[in-house]
Chains A and B, each alone.
Chain A
Amino acid sequence: MAYSDKVIDHYQNPKNVGTLDKSKQNVGTGLVGAPECGDVMRLQIEVDENGLIKDAKFKTFGCGSAIASSSLATEWLKGKTVDEAVKIDNMEIVEELHLPPVKIHCSVLAEDAIKAAVNDYRKKNGLPELKFDESVVH
């Protein structure tokens, strides 16, 4: 199976690898996946006083498509509001990275990581957690 150029580029030059201070009130952290399943994603957002995501970081244990999906997600998150962030759909990631069907779960994981990070942020700031439909592809 050949990887798309975009997956290879994100794999070789991942954007926004790193760790934000999860104890800060304006940082939301999402940790999804499981080591036994072969992929774990940790995605973090740092939100400014206007509700805009000013920074996003990730660390991923997984295949190239999982790394690329999370790298792309952090790029898309920056500059969005938290409300806009949860509207990112995994299929947009699939299209952007040309993921084959067997790799769609990587994009689902990225979408779940975004939602988990946003909910963590909301929880810390006294907002009710958002309810999401169960992901289809898992």
Chain B
Amino acid sequence: MLKFPIYLDHNATTPCDPRVVEAMIPYFTNSFGNAASRNHPFGWQAEEAVDHAREQVAKLIGADPKEIIFTSGATEADNLAIKGVYEMYASKGNHIITCNIEHKAVLDTCKHIEKEGGEVTYLKVNADGLIDMQELEAAIRPTTVLIAIMYANNEIGTVMPMKEISALAKKKGILVFSDATQAVGKIPVDVNKDGIDLMAFTAHKMYGPKGVGALYVRRKNPRVKVTAQMDGGGHERGMRSGTLNVPGIVGFGKACEISMNEMESEAKRLSALRDKLETELMKIEEAYVNGSTQHRLPHVTNISFKYVEGEGLLMGFNKDIAVSSGSACTSASLEPSYVLKALGLGDDLAHSSLRFGLGRFTTEDQIDYTIEAVTKTVNKLREMSPLWEMYKEGIDMNSIEWAHH
């Protein structure tokens, strides 16, 4: 039976899997101990639970449990990785390379570092949303200490060539950090095969709870260190002080275990549903997929419907269907998505985009309903759109002198 509302915004967050919640519950009440309490069973129980979760988390990304630093989420892990490396390796250099479609947690951290006197190169991406390896190589300086490139993009789902990036970095003796928030648990991510030295990810994007994430920090070949950004009791091998969020960490562990077991079949099912959605929506005139369709997460598609505005479009069905738009109107800034603009899309196409993120509980009848609702609304709004009328009359919209406001 068709279930409402239909949630297709899994890049923003995911619901907790009931199995995750079940695993967490005892750690709120009976086993509430502080994992740092060494002198009684409450503490031992909590520590044991954290250790188990650390193994589950490490296993999903092919790491050693000792290489997992629990944080409050991916934003904190991004901050810890970039600021931590910048400070720790200050004697080696002060230059970081990143790209212009990173999440704000990376971009704004880099901006912060520039204010501190560091130097940052922001690589451009091509129309597919991927960086150019030659440009990356050309950007490397003797003072480069870190290459920070996201594993997969949150808005368009494109997957960066991490293996190539890390191979180049290794040759040059530069550390690689990846914000893998959107990728971990969705596609196979292996820090050794991918050659990643530091990696941020979070529980709530993979059916775990909000408020808990992790930074992977390599311990061998090379041994990587970061300067702590949170001072205190010296938890997490001194890299992140603060009492551990035991129930959250237990949930994170369980979420990783489930993802590990179900990733392959889930990715297959979701990519089939995503392809159906995309194929049907692309039958609408003047619709465009944004970003690479080849190097992409299995559950994501981002489509622009020219001559209709994204927020207006959402309003046609947001009672029933939750998706997000790159339109300016959905943010307070009135600026359309910087990610879509970085792909070279005009502001008009960026304003007209919808992002669909499918998930574990998405069903085929929900996708069928979405196809129908989106198609109907696009058609209805185009009947109301002066731009659509001009397009149909063959008027060149670039010839009009628009009053920019």
A binds B: yes
Interface residues of chain A, those whose CB is within 8 Å of chain B, are 3, 8, 11, 14, 17, 19, 31-42, 59-64, 66-67, 102, 105, 108-109, 112, 135, 138
Q: A63-B315, A102-B332 are in contact. Are A35 and B397 (CB under 8 A)?
A: yes
Name the one of A17, A37, A41, A63 contacting B311, with C-beta atoms under 8 angstroms. A63
Q: A11-B315, A36-B347, A38-B327 are in contact. Are A109 and B389 (CB under 8 A)?
A: no
Tell me if B252 is interfacial: C-beta within 8 Å of chain A: no
Identify the interface centre among A19, A62, A67: most chain B CB within 10 Å of its CB: A62
A128 CB, nearest partner CB in chain B, Å: 21
Q: A19-B389, A59-B384 are in contact. Are A33 and B403 (CB under 8 A)?
A: yes
Q: Given the complex of chains A and B, what is the CA–CA distance between A64 and B325 in angstroms?
A: 14
Q: A33-B403, A34-B405, A35-B402 are in contact. Are A17 and B384 (CB under 8 A)?
A: yes
Identify the interface centre among B311, B385, B405: most chain A CB within 10 Å of its CB: B405
Identify the interface centre among A36, A41, A61, A64: most chain B CB within 10 Å of its CB: A61
Q: Are A37 and B347 touching (Cβ within 8 A)?
A: yes
Q: Are B315 and A35 touching (Cβ within 8 A)?
A: no
Q: Given the complex of chains A and B, what is the CA–CA distance between A37 and B400 in angstroms?
A: 14
Q: Given the complex of chains A and B, what is the CA–CA distance between A121 and B402 in angstroms?
A: 19
Q: Given the complex of chains A and B, what is the CA–CA distance between A19 and B384 in angstroms?
A: 10
**Chain B residue nearest to A1 in the complex (CB):** B330
Tell me if B20 is interfacial: C-beta within 8 Å of chain A: no
Tell me if B197 is interfacial: C-beta within 8 Å of chain A: no
Q: Are B384 and A36 touching (Cβ within 8 A)?
A: no
Identify the interface centre among B309, B348, B387: most chain A CB within 10 Å of its CB: B309
Tell me if B328 is interfacial: C-beta within 8 Å of chain A: yes
What are 18 pairs between A and B in contact, CB < 8 Å? Answer: A11-B312, A11-B316, A14-B384, A17-B384, A35-B351, A37-B404, A37-B405, A38-B334, A38-B347, A39-B309, A42-B386, A59-B385, A60-B384, A63-B309, A63-B327, A66-B312, A102-B332, A109-B405
* Interface size counted on chain B using CB atoms at 8 A: 31
Q: Given the complex of chains A and B, what is the CA–CA distance between A11 and B329 in angstroms?
A: 16
Tell me if B308 is interfacial: C-beta within 8 Å of chain A: yes
Q: A34-B403, A38-B347, A60-B386 are in contact. List 19 more A-B contacts (CB 8 A).
A: A17-B384, A32-B403, A32-B405, A33-B402, A33-B405, A35-B348, A36-B402, A37-B334, A41-B386, A59-B389, A61-B308, A61-B309, A62-B309, A63-B315, A63-B327, A64-B312, A66-B309, A105-B334, A109-B405
Contacts of A105 in B (CB 8 A): 334, 405
Q: A61-B385, A67-B384, A105-B405 are in contact. Are A35 and B327 (CB under 8 A)?
A: no
Q: Which residues of chain B (368-405) have a CB below 8 Å from chain A?
A: 383-389, 397, 400, 402-405
Q: Given the complex of chains A and B, what is the CA–CA distance between A124 and B316 in angstroms?
A: 38
